[in-house]
């Protein structure tokens, strides 16, 4: 297959959709739109709402833990609240966040395409997401779920509440994820603009592409696992129930076979955004482009064979544990390479410290902590002590929130002018970023200490000796909440303005910055012909897009 | 794909080409990639079931052997033949539509539908037999003929696997009906028969999964 | 060094705790060094190369093979080293010595119960002798639990329908905290136990005397527990139906006739004698099959059984 797959001629009536995409069509037409940008925006509002909801649950959890015993709710409520925090954040926020919202908006434009490969499928995928979200909400109000987001058997097959419904919601959401993945892979393979060879693709595309591979290959296994769990609850089939001769540990194998790759569904897009922000804001050629591109794919592949490291204390065989531990350490190496590449890219750059870059810098530090603390957990003997303690909670929050969510907000600040045609207040953005950074570390740094001192996770009550650190953590969650509140304030405020964003506020060189902000419905008047690498900041800019300048 | 192949298309504006594709060739190959990816997810989904089934068979071999004695091999074999035949007629339909033979396309699609319907009819008889004997999954298992209790789990798998497959057959029949209607409207030609081709791929997968299910469930050793 | 460890970790109270802590501290210092490197370079570059002028072209740095090999291979060697270190300690800790004291542990929402080799039982408190290898054989009656003793640095999931081992050798006498570390529902955070590591003499004394819980229970309740746990219930029913032995229902105060024709009114002394020397008086219509419970029941437990029988009218 040749690298160049599209020919330069443009078909279709040019000029018909010259208005910006935000004002093209009635408000109602958004519900049935197949425009990847509108779908990206709809996903964005949906997941931001879910982040808000999950965040409220998180604040409630932290508030309850301010003191031992009952603070604001009883144990059963607490168990439901932390379950909903996890389930909402994982299935409804983080997994769709970067690919479905920012990826949908930016990926086709960065490839020089007018849309994703299957626009109607994209719409379907959004509505499947919306359906899944609604089922999840129904499950929350009709009994709730108290299993933890991992649905471990046999607890999940025996407890009361709407477990089957919540599981079904996750099952439905999985299909949305699969369809998005299929769409992106086909788009990357087939809709690259002329001249855009594989190694001229922006690194964001490489990251999203690797993510899509995992989405397509791992999610079906989750689907079948959840289906078996639903069968277990409704028919008592017994595959996971020891009373009927089943094996509860089998569920864990099935679950983590999906859910560990899912960790990379979450982190790879975060890395992808950082790979975009760092060279653009540093005005610097990317150092180690191919190493970074291949390390994304390597992570995607190795991520399939490390699931057992969640189960060192589950009674799996020693040999299996050893293999999983070894592979877990190996998967760390591509991540380390990426970190060094980002840092070296900054070397001798011309670095702007505007909001997107502040998030990228935060990412480097927080991902540093998140990644390095993973080494403690990968070492089998140390993990025996740390498994299922707050150390694990702190570790994965540094990776999931400190890295992925921070990268997501970095990407949101980076592409916001492109998506909505408005600039936000830079000073407010910097203040919010600093508050988020301080709040995050105040919340989660003490949890490492709690965990290594032996505080188990998912505890409603705790021994008095742990109280001080819990209180510091709770205070941190308030600072974090304040930071996000300010962010919501200035972002909404910017939407009330007229379009004021220049096409290219960051002087970046990927294709999306060569068209107006916001873009027109069909993205490009003419199919762009890509001549240069995405990060050629060492030489004068040579635009690939005609007709906008 | 070389650039020469689609030069021909320029100027012509076929109605089926969606605006974001440069030409029909690109649209066709993109659709195929999408379909193959979708099929990969299907295989992985059934693959997960097969793994669970196999592991549990390893733990309770007697229950599996006892359970499979309740399945009707003859009916299973007839169904296998039905699906193999339907795959053949599907191939014929795809070929016919790619060579502008409208009536042959429709005829073959109808044959495919008939075989699929036959499959479901037989499956219906098999299911009602099981229901009658109380050979039901999990806690609803009410068979009084004895045997290892884990037969309940075997039938759990049996109904999940054949049920999920049966659901795919029903979806396939809906899709085939849809392309039969489109074919009768004359929407397909050698220039554009992507939907027939893709539904064909899907149907072969449904067939293929049965080819694995049949020995796994009916011919336990 | 030690004060840092004591700040981060619980007390070291088992033979292998020090090994785990050594690796923990090694990783701590190593990752701290890497973190300082990353954080320093990030902040230093961001500040040193901050934008002073718009529109400048920058140098074209895309590769440096030597540098890239260094930062790939050094971490690789380090993590492989850590893998072997961690695996060795893990494997060593999971092997039980032959002379280990075996105690059965059962997890059930939301309590831990323990059974010792001599049949003694305790709930929510585990007693072990110091410096003696302990092998816990654990199972669950309902959902997953995990047995976690921070000061021993051990943790193991407890799985229904399966036995799993946990091995450790306690070295510090005193009370230690046991947690449930696998989420198990409403009172998960209350599913704790006390581990009492005693001197061998104190441990023997405790075994002799039985768990304090026994002394807190009402005598009849204790008697019911003994009736269930010591197997009385396999021969003596409490609902009047005839088993291998006479039913306990309504037996107290009744006049029993024996195989040798003599009779007696059932009282405390007769019950006590029947438990300790069952063949002395065998009720007519029954075989002399009951074993003696001499040495198997504590005084308080015998009293409990008597109280229980009194209650069954």
- Measured CA to CA, the distance from residue A113 to residue A512 in angstroms comes to 10
In the block, which residue shows the tokens 């790979």?
A275
Provide, rounded to the nearest whole percent, the portion of chain A with pLDDT above 70: 96
Contact (CB<8Å) B52/A1: no
Q: From edge to edge, which strands make up the β-sheet containing C154-158? A: C125-129, C193-198, C174-180, C145-149, C154-158
How near does any CA of chain A get to the CA of C193, in Å?
13
Residue A237 reports pLDDT greater than 70: yes
Residue A250 reports pLDDT greater than 80: yes
ipTM for the complex? Answer: 0.91
Within-domain flag for B24: no
Provide, rounded to the nearest whole percent, the portion of chain B with pLDDT above 70: 93
Residue B18 reports pLDDT greater than 90: no
| Cβ contacts of A378 on chain C, cutoff 8 Å | 79, 82-83, 86
Task: Yes or no: say if B119 and B111 are a contact pair by the CB < 8 Å rule.
Answer: no
pLDDT-derived band at C1 (thresholds 50, 70, 90) equals low
Range 101-130 of B in CB contact (< 8 A) with A: none
* Domain membership of residue A162 as a residue range: 32-514
Residue C105 reports pLDDT greater than 60: yes
Within-domain flag for B47: yes
Domains in chain C with CATH codes = 2-49+63-93 (1.10.287), 101-209 (2.60.40.420), 217-311 (1.10.760.10)
| Cβ contacts of A347 on chain C, cutoff 8 Å | 45, 49, 61
Contact (CB<8Å) C45/A373: no
How near does any CA of chain A get to the CA of B38, in Å?
7
Residue C54 reports pLDDT greater than 50: yes
Mutation target to probe the B interface, by most B beta carbons within 10 A, among A4, A10, A11, A258 is A11
A vs B, Cβ pairs < 8 A, gives 143
What value does the mean pLDDT of chain C take? Answer: 90
Nearest to B149 by CA among C258, A288, A243, A381: A243
pLDDT-derived band at A17 (thresholds 50, 70, 90) equals low
DSSP string, B9-73: GTT---TT--TTSSSHHHHHHHHHHHHHHHHHHHHHHHHHHHHHHHHHHHH-HHHHHHHHTTS-H
- Which chains form contacts with chain C, at 3 or more CB pairs under 8 Å? A
Q: Which pTM value belongs to this model? A: 0.89
Report yes or no: B157 at the A interface, CB cutoff 8 Å.
yes
- Residues A31-46: pLDDT tens digits? 999 999 999 999 999 9
Instruction: Provide the strand spans (E) within chain C.
Output: 101-108, 111-115, 121-123, 125-129, 134-140, 145-149, 154-158, 164-168, 174-180, 193-198, 255-257, 263-265
Of the CA atoms within 13 Å of residue B131, those in its CB half-sphere come to 6
Nearest to A86 by CA among A392, A316, A363: A392
Residue A13: predicted pLDDT: 42
Neighbours of A540 (CB within 10 A): 8
Within-domain flag for A17: no
Residue A30 reports pLDDT greater than 80: yes
Q: Which residue has the higher pLDDT, A357 or C310?
A: A357
Nearest CA in chain B to A171: B45
Report yes or no: B156 at the A interface, CB cutoff 8 Å.
yes
Residue A11 reports pLDDT greater than 60: no
Report yes or no: A533 at the C interface, CB cutoff 8 Å.
no
Lowest mean pLDDT among A1-15, A325-339, C13-27: A1-15
Highest mean pLDDT of the ranges A188-197, C206-215, C284-293: A188-197
* Domain membership of residue B171 as a residue range: 33-218
pLDDT-derived band at A547 (thresholds 50, 70, 90) equals low
Residue A188 reports pLDDT greater than 60: yes
Nearest to A528 by CA among A1, A7, A2: A7
pLDDT-derived band at B13 (thresholds 50, 70, 90) equals low
Nearest to C203 by CA among C272, C285, C263, C118: C118
Task: Yes or no: say if B203 and B172 are a contact pair by the CB < 8 Å rule.
Answer: yes
| Cβ contacts of A384 on chain C, cutoff 8 Å | 20, 90, 93, 153-155
Residue A98, both tokens: 């970067």
Residue C11: predicted pLDDT: 94
Residue A159: predicted pLDDT: 86
What value does the mean pLDDT of chain A take? Answer: 91
Nearest CA in chain A to B1: A1
List of residues 6+ apart from C3 with CB closer than 8 A:
none
Provide, rounded to the nearest whole percent, the portion of chain A with pLDDT above 90: 72
Within-domain flag for B62: yes
Residue B54 reports pLDDT greater than 70: yes
Contact (CB<8Å) C90/A357: no
Residue A73: predicted pLDDT: 95
- Residues A288-335: pLDDT tens digits? 999 999 999 888 888 888 888 888 877 777 888 888 889 889 888 999
- Measured CA to CA, the distance from residue A211 to residue A301 in angstroms comes to 10
Average pLDDT score over residue span C31-58: 95
Residue B3 reports pLDDT greater than 60: no
Residue B9: predicted pLDDT: 41
pLDDT-derived band at A87 (thresholds 50, 70, 90) equals very high
Q: CATH number of the domain that A279 lies in?
A: 1.20.210.10
Q: CATH number of the domain that B117 lies in?
A: 1.20.120.80
Average pLDDT score over residue span A399-415: 97
Residue B4 reports pLDDT greater than 50: no
Contact (CB<8Å) B55/A113: no
Of the CA atoms within 13 Å of residue C76, those in its CB half-sphere come to 10
Nearest CA in chain B to A119: B20
Provide, rounded to the nearest whole percent, the portion of chain C with pLDDT above 90: 54
Residue C293: predicted pLDDT: 84
Task: Yes or no: say if C251 and C292 are a contact pair by the CB < 8 Å rule.
Answer: no
List of residues 6+ apart from C173 with CB closer than 8 A:
C130, C197, C198, C199
Residue C92: predicted pLDDT: 87
pLDDT-derived band at B118 (thresholds 50, 70, 90) equals very high
pLDDT-derived band at B135 (thresholds 50, 70, 90) equals confident
Residue B144: predicted pLDDT: 80
Percent helix, percent strand, percent coil in chain B, to nearest 5: 75, 0, 25
Residue B109, both tokens: 């699609």
Residue A288: predicted pLDDT: 93
Report yes or no: B201 at the A interface, CB cutoff 8 Å.
no
Residue A433, both tokens: 């970023």
Domain count, chain A: 1
Task: Yes or no: say if A441 and A433 are a contact pair by the CB < 8 Å rule.
Answer: no
Report yes or no: A70 at the C interface, CB cutoff 8 Å.
no
Nearest by CB to residue A343, choosing from C38, C87, C190, is C38
- Measured CA to CA, the distance from residue A43 to residue A22 in angstroms comes to 14
How near does any CA of chain A get to the CA of C78, in Å?
10
Residue A201 reports pLDDT greater than 90: yes
Cis status, amide bond into C215, omega within 30 of 0: no
Burial (0-12, 13-18, 19+ Cβ within 10 Å), C285:
exposed
| Cβ contacts of A4 on chain B, cutoff 8 Å | 3
Residue A4: predicted pLDDT: 38
Domain count, chain B: 1
pLDDT-derived band at A84 (thresholds 50, 70, 90) equals very high
Lowest mean pLDDT among A91-100, A426-435, C144-153, C282-291: C282-291
Residue A482 reports pLDDT greater than 70: yes
Q: Which residue has the higher pLDDT, B21 or A114?
A: A114
Q: What is the CA radius of gyration of chain C?
A: 31
């Amino acid at each position: 297959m040749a690298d160049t797959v599209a020919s330069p001629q443009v078909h279709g009536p040019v000029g018909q959709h010259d208005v910006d995409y935000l004002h093209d069509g009635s408000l109602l037409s958004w519900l049935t739109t197949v425009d990847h940008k509108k779908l990206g925006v709809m996903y964005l509002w949906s997941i931001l709402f879910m982040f808000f909801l999950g965040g409220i649950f998180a604040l409630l959890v932290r508030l309850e833990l301010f003191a031992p015993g009952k603070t604001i709710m009883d144990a059963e409520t607490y168990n439901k609240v932390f379950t909903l925090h996890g389930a909402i954040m994982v299935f409804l926020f983080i997994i769709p966040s970067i690919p479905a919202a920012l990826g949908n908006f930016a990926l086709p434009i960065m490839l020089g395409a007018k849309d994703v490969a299957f626009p109607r499928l994209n719409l379907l995928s959004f509505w499947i997401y919306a359906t899944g979200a609604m089922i999840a909400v129904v499950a929350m109000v009709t009994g709730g779920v108290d299993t933890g987001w991992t649905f471990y058997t046999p607890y999940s097959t025996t407890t009361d509440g709407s477990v089957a419904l919540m599981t079904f919601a996750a099952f439905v959401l999985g299909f949305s994820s699969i369809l998005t993945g299929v769409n992106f892979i086909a788009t990357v393979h087939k809709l690259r603009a002329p001249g855009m060879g594989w190694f001229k693709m922006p690194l964001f595309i490489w990251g999203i592409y690797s993510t899509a591979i995992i989405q397509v290959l791992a999610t079906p296994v989750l689907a079948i696992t959840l289906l078996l769990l639903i069968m277990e609850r409704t028919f008592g089939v017994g595959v996971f129930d020891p009373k009927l001769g089943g094996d509860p540990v089998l569920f864990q194998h099935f679950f983590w076979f999906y859910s560990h790759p899912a960790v990379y569904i979450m982190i790879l897009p975060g890395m992808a955004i950082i790979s975009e922000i760092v060279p653009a804001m540093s005005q610097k050629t990317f150092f180690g482009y191919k190493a970074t591109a291949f390390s994304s794919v390597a992570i995607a592949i190795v991520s399939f064979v490390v699931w057992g490291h969640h189960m060192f204390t589950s009674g799996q065989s020693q040999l299996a544990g050893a293999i999983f531990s070894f592979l877990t350490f190996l998967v760390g190496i591509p991540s380390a390479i990426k970190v060094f590449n980002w840092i070296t890219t900054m070397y001798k750059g011309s670095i702007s410290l505007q909001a997107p870059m502040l998030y990228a810098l935060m990412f480097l530090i927080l991902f540093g902590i998140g990644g390095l603390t993973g080494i403690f957990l990968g070492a089998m003997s140390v993990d025996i002590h740390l498994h299922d303690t707050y150390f694990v909670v702190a570790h994965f929050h540094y990776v999931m929130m400190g890295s992925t969510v921070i990268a997501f907000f970095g990407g949101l600040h980076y592409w916001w002018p492109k998506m909505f045609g408005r600039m936000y207040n830079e000073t407010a953005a910097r203040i919010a970023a600093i508050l988020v950074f301080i709040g995050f570390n105040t919340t989660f740094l003490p949890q490492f200490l709690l965990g290594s001192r032996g505080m188990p996770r998912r505890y409603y009550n705790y021994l008095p000796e742990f109280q001080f650190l819990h209180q510091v953590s709770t205070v941190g969650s308030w600072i974090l909440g304040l930071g996000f509140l300010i962010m919501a304030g200035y972002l909404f405020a910017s939407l009330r303005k007229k379009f004021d964003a220049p096409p290219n506020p960051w002087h970046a060189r990927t294709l999306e910055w060569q068209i107006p902000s916001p873009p027109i419905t069909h993205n490009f008047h003419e199919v762009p012909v890509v001549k240069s690498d995405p990060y050629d900041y060492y030489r004068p800019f040579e635009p690939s897009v005609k007709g906008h300048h | 794909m070389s650039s020469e192949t689609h030069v021909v298309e320029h100027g012509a504006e076929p109605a089926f080409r969606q605006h974001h594709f440069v030409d029909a060739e690109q649209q066709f190959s993109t659709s195929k990639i999408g379909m193959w990816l979708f099929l990969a997810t299907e295989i992985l989904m059934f693959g997960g079931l097969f793994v669970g089934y196999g592991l549990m068979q390893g733990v309770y071999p007697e229950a599996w052997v006892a359970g499979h004695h309740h399945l009707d091999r003859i009916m299973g074999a007839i169904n296998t033949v039905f699906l193999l035949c339907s795959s053949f007629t599907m191939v014929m339909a795809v070929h016919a539509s790619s060579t502008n033979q409208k009536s042959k396309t429709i005829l073959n699609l109808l044959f495919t539908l008939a075989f699929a319907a036959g499959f479901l009819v037989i499956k219906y008889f098999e299911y009602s037999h099981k229901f009658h004997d109380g050979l039901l999954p999990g806690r609803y298992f009410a068979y009084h003929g004895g045997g290892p209790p884990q037969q309940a789990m075997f039938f759990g798998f049996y109904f999940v696997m054949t049920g999920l497959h049966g659901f795919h057959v029903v979806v396939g029949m809906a899709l085939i009906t849809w392309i039969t209607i489109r074919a009768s409207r004359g929407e397909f030609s050698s220039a554009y028969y992507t939907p027939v081709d893709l539904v064909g791929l899907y149907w072969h997968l449904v067939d293929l999964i049965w080819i694995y299910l049949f020995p796994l469930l009916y011919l336990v050793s | 060094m030690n004060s840092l460890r004591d700040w981060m970790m619980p007390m070291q109270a088992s033979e292998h705790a020090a090994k785990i802590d050594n690796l923990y501290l090694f990783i701590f210092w190593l990752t701290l060094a890497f973190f300082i490197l990353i954080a320093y370079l990030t902040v230093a570059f961001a500040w040193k190369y901050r934008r002073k002028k718009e529109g400048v072209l920058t140098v074209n740095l895309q590769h440096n093979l030597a540098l890239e090999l260094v930062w790939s291979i050094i971490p690789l060697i380090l993590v492989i080293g850590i893998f072997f270190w961690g695996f060795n300690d893990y494997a060593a800790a999971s092997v039980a010595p032959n002379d280990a004291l075996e105690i059965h542990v059962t997890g059930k929402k939301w309590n831990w119960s323990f059974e010792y080799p001599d049949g003694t039982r305790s709930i929510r408190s585990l007693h072990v002798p110091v410096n003696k290898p302990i092998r816990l054989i654990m199972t669950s009656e309902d959902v997953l639990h995990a047995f976690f003793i921070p000061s021993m640095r051990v943790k193991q999931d407890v799985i229904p329908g399966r036995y799993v081992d946990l091995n450790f050798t306690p070295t510090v006498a005193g009370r230690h905290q046991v947690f449930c570390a696998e989420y198990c529902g409403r009172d998960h955070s209350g599913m704790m136990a006390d581990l009492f590591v005693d001197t061998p003499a104190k441990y023997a004394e405790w075994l002799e005397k039985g768990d304090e819980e026994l002394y807190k229970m009402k005598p009849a309740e204790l008697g019911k527990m003994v009736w269930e746990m010591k197997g009385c219930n396999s021969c003596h029913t409490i609902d009047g139906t005839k088993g291998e032995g006479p039913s306990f229902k309504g037996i107290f105060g009744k006049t029993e006739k024996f195989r040798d024709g003599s009779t007696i009114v059932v009282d405390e002394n007769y019950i006590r004698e029947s438990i300790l020397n069952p063949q002395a008086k065998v009720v007519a219509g029954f075989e002399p099959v009951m074993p003696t419970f001499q040495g198997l029941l504590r005084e308080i437990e015998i009293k409990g059984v008597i109280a229980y029988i009194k209650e069954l009218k």
